[in-house]
Chain A
Amino acid sequence: MRTRLSILTWPEPKGGPHRAICHYCDTVHVADPIAEGSRANCVLCGATLFQNRPASLVRVTSFSLTALLLMIVVHTAPFVDMDAAGLRTELTLPGAARALIDEGTPLVGLGVALFTIITPLILAGGLVYVCAPLIFGRLAPGAMFVTRWMSRSEPWNMIEVFLLGVLVSLLKLGKVADLHFGIGFWAFAGLMVCMAAAVAAIDKRELWDRLEVAKGQ
């Protein structure tokens, strides 16, 4: 039976007792449901076991959808224009990765593309693909496969680090050239916030519990 209530409450998969093992100290806990907005901690070492985030599916879907839309802007609009020596150059996100590939360090360039373009795309796209149907209690085809790849790629998402890199570079170039911020820069700052909010909006355990329940229906 599908009910709209599935939006609101973290469903419990069949079977049980449900347990949680601490990642740090290996202590086994009985994972009782917890109230929205609260977290469960390990009794031995105090590490977080899991958290029940309020309105998780709606939040994760809207933040990752916004992130996807911002990615279109980030990839097309320039971050910064620079006027120096009578020449005008502009920085785009794909341009940074491509410059390294063209200038003789293709491996590093591919790494930059992976950390700033491909991984954020896998994360935001995957979250929309998996979580939007889950709002209605449905399982998208291959949702579990996609979710596995999302957890693999998560540590390699480095857009906030790239933003720091942009700021450091601008301070370096500011002395020798005129710089103008473009729409791409502000879109990128928004993208960083949306990605962080989307990833933090749902606990891994809740997402997998919801996938298991949707699969069983």
Chain B
Amino acid sequence: MSKVNGKEVPRGLELGLAGCHVCEKVSPVAEVHCPRCGTHLHMRKPDSITRTLALLIAAAVMYVPANLLPILTSRELGISTESTIIAGMVEFWNTGAYPIALVIFTASILIPLLKIVALLWLCAAAKGLVPHSAKLLGKVYWVTELLGRWSMVDIFVVAILVAMVQLGNYMVITPGSGALAFAGVVMLTMFAAMSFDPKLLWDQLEREEEMSTAQPLPESE
């Protein structure tokens, strides 16, 4: 039970009720499948923390080649130049296109990194390893889910440049191996965010509250 304005509000966990992930109908979790849409019912997303962590580790490993390998190669008058995500951003910055440089920096470098850190923090908080406000971290999770897709912008830029710059001997752009690694990072962090269950943050909060009421510390008296 959680308390709102002194009134106790029930949680699904206590009542054995689960909301369907697909159609949102609330049913007893003992029914196994949602009576409305047939989706498997879960009290919490299955193996939420383990899956999220595994996907995050994979994303963090991929983040290295994604930034070190070239995402595109341009061959201009016979001279090949390889370009990484960071090099593309620096080029915009040096030519004075600061807003675009900032957009690329935010979408390609900052968001994937912040997503990995934020989800690691959420996992640690759900395990009770760091003190947390479940309400605030719920919002962090919401933002993490919302922003993830925007990191894909650099992949689309590569696709568009490769499609358009096919000018025979004058200039040709081809995609680099970094593009696959980078698309992998974005997809892995999206799957990681989907695997995380924010209800676990409140479960942990409830456990902490029970502990503190069951064994009051002498200092607090």
Interface residues of A (CB under 8 A from B): 18-21, 23-28, 43-47, 50, 80, 82, 84-85, 87, 89-92, 95-100, 103-105, 107-109, 111-112, 115-116, 144, 147-148, 151, 155-156, 158, 161-162, 164-166, 168-169, 171-173, 175-176, 204-205, 208, 212
B3's closest neighbor in chain A, by CB? Answer: A44
B147 CB to nearest chain A CB (Å):
11
Residues in chain B near residue A24, CB distance under 8 A? 138, 141-142, 198-199, 201-202
A162–B149 alpha-carbon span in the complex (Å): 10
Q: Which of A26, A90, A168 contacts B12 (CB 8 A)?
A: A26
B166 at interface, CB cutoff 8 A: yes
Residues in chain A near residue B23, CB distance under 8 A? 147, 204-205, 208
Q: Which of B135, B149, B167, B183 contacts A111 (CB 8 A)?
A: B183
Residues in chain B near residue A108, CB distance under 8 A? 155, 158-159, 175, 179-180, 183
A48's closest neighbor in chain B, by CB? Answer: B142
- Structural contact, A168 and B24, CB atoms closer than 8 A: no
A19–B194 alpha-carbon span in the complex (Å): 24
Q: A103-B175, A107-B180, A164-B153 are in contact. Are A46 and B135 (CB under 8 A)?
A: yes
Interface residues of B (CB under 8 A from A): 2, 4, 9-13, 15, 17-19, 22-26, 36-39, 92, 95, 97, 100, 103-104, 107, 134-135, 138, 141-142, 145, 149-150, 152-168, 170-171, 174-175, 177, 179-180, 183, 187, 190, 194, 198-199, 201-203
- Structural contact, B24 and A208, CB atoms closer than 8 A: yes
20 chain-A/chain-B pairs, Cβ below 8 angstroms:
A21-B18, A21-B24, A24-B141, A24-B199, A24-B202, A28-B12, A47-B138, A90-B164, A91-B163, A91-B164, A108-B180, A109-B159, A112-B155, A144-B38, A147-B23, A176-B171, A204-B23, A205-B24, A208-B25, A208-B37
Interface contacts beyond A24-B142, A165-B153: sample of 9 additional A-B pairs, CB < 8 Å, sorted by A: A23-B198, A24-B199, A45-B134, A80-B164, A99-B163, A103-B162, A156-B149, A164-B103, A208-B36
Residues in chain A near residue B95, CB distance under 8 A? 175
- Structural contact, B138 and A162, CB atoms closer than 8 A: no
A141 CB to nearest chain B CB (Å):
16
B172's closest neighbor in chain A, by CB? Answer: A103
> Which of A27, A99, A166, A204 counts the most B-chain CB atoms under 10 A from its CB?
A99
